[in-house]
Structure 1
Amino acid sequence: MALLNFRKRDVAAEAGPVNGAIEALLKDYSIEVMPRTAEKVEDFRALLPEGTRVYIAHIEGTPIDDMVATAKRLNEAGYPVMPHFPARIIKDRATLVDWIARYQGEANVDQALLLAGGVEKPHGDYDSSMQLLESGAFGDAGFKRLHVAGHPEGNRDIDPDGSMTNVDAALRWKQAFSETSDADMALATQFAFDAGPIIKWADGLKANGIDLPIHIGIAGPAKLQTLIKFAIACGVGPSLKVLQKRAMDVTKLLLPYEPTDVLSELAAHKAAHPDFGITHVHFFPLGGIKANAEWAIKNGGASGVPADLS
C-alpha cells in the first residue's frame, strides 16, 4: 500500500500545480465511450479513477451484443456503467425490456441515460425519452439512476426555430417525473465551449424551479478541426464561436484544444456559488479516451488519478 501511495504522489507532482477549484469540480467526473473506441483501450484502470461512471453511447447501427459486451467488460473492471437508451432506435416495449434485462443480467447495469437519439425517423414506437420514462420499464427493473438530456444552447431537432420552448417544456416534465420516481435523476448535457451561456442556462433552470443536478458536457482535448466537425454535427450553438475565433488565431490553429478555460470559469463560479446546479463534469473524449484521461490526470489532481495508482 505504501508503494501505491508513493506512486500516487508522484503522479500529482508530475502534473504540476493544480487549480483547486477545477480539482473539486472534476471529482467523480464521468466519461463517454463507444464499443469501437473502448476496444482500443487495453486497460481502463490505467487511465480512469476508481468508480468513474462510464457512459456507453449507442449509435444507430451498433448491435446490442456489442453494447452489452462493452458494459460487461467495464463492470468487471470495477466501473459503474450507464448505457444510452436512444428512444428512436428502440422498436417497441419488448425490445426495450429485452435490452434492460440483458444489461442487468450480463453486466450488472442499474443506471441509464435516456434520450431521443440522433435519428430523424423513429424505428418504432418511441420518439422521446419521456416515452421511455412513461413506459415504466426502468422502474419495473429497479434501476437506481436515470439521466436525461439537457441542452444549454437549445436543440434544433426539438425547436427548429432556435427557441427553447419545447426543450424547456420537456425539462419541466422531467422535473415533475423525478419528483415521483424512486430513481435518482440528473441532466447530462450536450457539450459546449463557452462558460457564460452555460452559467446563464443553469441559473435560469433553478430560477424556474428545475433543480435536477446538472452533469455538464465538456469536450476533451482534441484537434480544433475535429471539434468544429463534431460541434456542427451535434448542433452546438453560440459557443461554436469560441472555436471559430480560435481558428482565426494562427498561433493557436495548430495547437490542440483543451477545456481548461471553460472549466476554470465554471469551477470559479461554483466555488463562489456552492448551490450552483452543476454538480459533475461529463467528458466527451472527442480527441481520444487516453488524451482526455491524461488531461484529467494533469489538471485534476487527486480527482484524476487512475485506479491502478490510487
Structure 2
Amino acid sequence: QGEAGVEQALLLAGGVTQPHGDYDSSMQLLESGAFGDAGFKRLHVAGHPEGNKDIDPDGSMTNVDAALRWKQAFSDTSDADMAIATQFCFEAAPVIDWANDLAANGITLPIHIGVAGPAKLQTLIKFSIACGVGASLRVLQRRAKDLTKLLLPFTPDEFLSDLAAHKVANPDFGISHVHFFPLGGIKTNANWAIENGGTSATPASQS
C-alpha cells in the first residue's frame, strides 16, 4: 500500500478447505489492524445474495449473515468507508429480497452488486458453475431453451433495468453501485457500459 499508493482493498477469505497461512477469514484480516492505519480509504467485504456453500454447507444463510453483522459492527469503528461487493448475479428479484433482508436486520453497508458483462451464453454457464452461482443458472437455462437467442451474447439489460427501477421507487434501497465481471472481455464490457448509459469506463463502476 505504501509503495503503490493503494487506497482500496477487497478482503476475501477464498474457498479453500484449509487456510494457506495464519488467517482463516476476512474478519481475522480486519482484526489484524493491517488495514486500519495504513491509509486505506475504502474496504470491500464479500456479500452472497445466493448464499455460499463453502461457508454454509447446509444451504442456509446463517454463517454468511452472521459474518455481515460482524462486519457491520466493525465498520462502525473503522475510519475507512466499507461496502459489500458481491459475486455476479443474473436475476433481480432474489437480489432485491436479499438486500431488503439485510437492511431489516440492521446491515446498512452500501452494496456493490456484481454484474456479468456481455458474453456468450456458454461462457456464462461455465463461469457460473465454476464460481458457485448455481441459483442464477435458471436464468441462463431459460435463455438456452430459446434457439433464436442461443448464439447471441447474453447482456445484463433486464437485470440492471429491474434494479434501477426498484432504486428509483425506493431511493434508500441498499444497492448503491454495480461492478462488472468482464467475462466476455474488458473491451466488450466497457463498450456495452458506455453505450447503455455510462459516459466512460471508470474503475468506480466497472471493476
Q: TM-score, normalised by structure 2?
A: 0.95
Structure 1 residue 262 and structure 2 residue 167: aligned? no
| Runs of 5+ unmatched residues, structure 1 | 1-102
d(CA) in 2 for partners of 1:243, 1:299: 21
For 1:131, the equivalent position in structure 2 comes to 28
Aligned mate of 2:61, from 161, 164, 171 = 164
Which structure has more relative contact order (CA 8 Å, sep 6+)? It is 1
Spell out, residue by residue over 1:24-78, the C-alpha distance to the aligned partner (whole angstroms, 9 max, x if none).
xxxxxxxxxxxxxxxxxxxxxxxxxxxxxxxxxxxxxxxxxxxxxxxxxxxxxxx
Aligned mate of 1:195, from 88, 92, 96 = 92
Offset at 1:277? 0.3
Paired positions, count: 202
Which one-letter code corresponds to 1:122 in the other structure? P
Aligned mate of 1:285, from 182, 192, 196 = 182
d(CA) in 2 for partners of 1:306, 1:195: 23
CA contact (8 A) 2:193 2:201 kept: no
d(CA) in 2 for partners of 1:120, 1:259: 32
d(CA) in 2 for partners of 1:148, 1:306: 23
For 1:272, the equivalent position in structure 2 comes to 169
Percent of matched pairs sharing the same residue: 79
Aligned mate of 1:213, from 103, 107, 110 = 110
- Alpha-carbon spacing, 1:304–1:245, altered in 2? closer, same or farther (3 Å): same
- Alpha-carbon spacing, 1:231–1:306, altered in 2? closer, same or farther (3 Å): closer
For 2:82, the equivalent position in structure 1 comes to 185
Which one-letter code corresponds to 1:304 in the other structure? T
For 2:150, the equivalent position in structure 1 comes to 253
Larger radius of gyration, structure 1 or 2?
1
> In angstroms, what is the RMSD of aligned CA positions?
1.1
Offset at 1:118? 3.2
- Give the match's secondary structure for 1:230: helix
Q: TM-score, normalised by structure 1?
A: 0.64
Spell out, residue by residue over 1:166-221, the C-alpha distance to the aligned partner (whole angstroms, 9 max, x if none).
00100100000001111100000011100000000001111111000000000000
d(CA) in 2 for partners of 1:306, 1:125: 37
For 1:72, the equivalent position in structure 2 comes to none
Structure 1 residue 234 and structure 2 residue 131: aligned? yes
Offset at 1:306? 4.9
CA contact (8 A) 1:154 1:237 kept: no
